[in-house]
Amino acid sequence: MDSAEILVLQASYTNPLHAEAIGVVLNHYAEDPMGGGHPIAPELLQQLPVELAKRPHAFSVLAFVGGEPAGLVNCFEGFSTFACKPLVNVHDVSVVSKFRGLGLSQKMLHKVEEIARQRGCCKITLEVLEGNAVAQGSYTKFGFAPGMFDPNHGRMLFWIKELQA
């Protein structure tokens, strides 16, 4: 595909086209084995942009190819107490399978970095599944490095406590 057909932008959660694209790409990711293999309920996908818009530290980057939703990165600003500066945590990265191989993840991550720099952030963080070699390769290519070992403190582990409603 011609690169002129690729558009990467920061999503506007109140733009119906952007809101729909977020749901389409996120659901594509959820249905993929790396995303859990199950679709997200349509009512949740519809409500997601509304909820994201309520969070001033949330932003999303979308990629369109030929006008079709093709990629999504959802991000949340956090804060590094050691650097006393904000940081961006990349929460979701997804490229629709038929658009893979076009460099969309790199283009979207460049947009994320541009936004992070505009916000004065000290770093960009993300988590990646151990078995997702394709994503790890993409992140390495972009300049991310595993932060799993600190020689002064040992391995860092990612722990979760689910909160039931």
Low-confidence ranges of the chain (pLDDT < 50): none
Euclidean distance between CA atoms 38 and 27, whole angstroms: 8
- Asked if 7 contacts 64 with a C-beta cutoff of 8 angstroms, the reply is yes
pLDDT of residue 128: 84
pLDDT of residue 164: 80
Q: What are phi and psi of 65, to 5 degrees?
A: -120, 120
Q: Tokens representing 77?
A: 């600003």
The overall longest dimension of the chain from CA atoms, in Å, is 49
Domains of the chain: 6-153 (3.40.630.30)
pLDDT of residue 151: 61
Output the pTM of the full model: 0.89
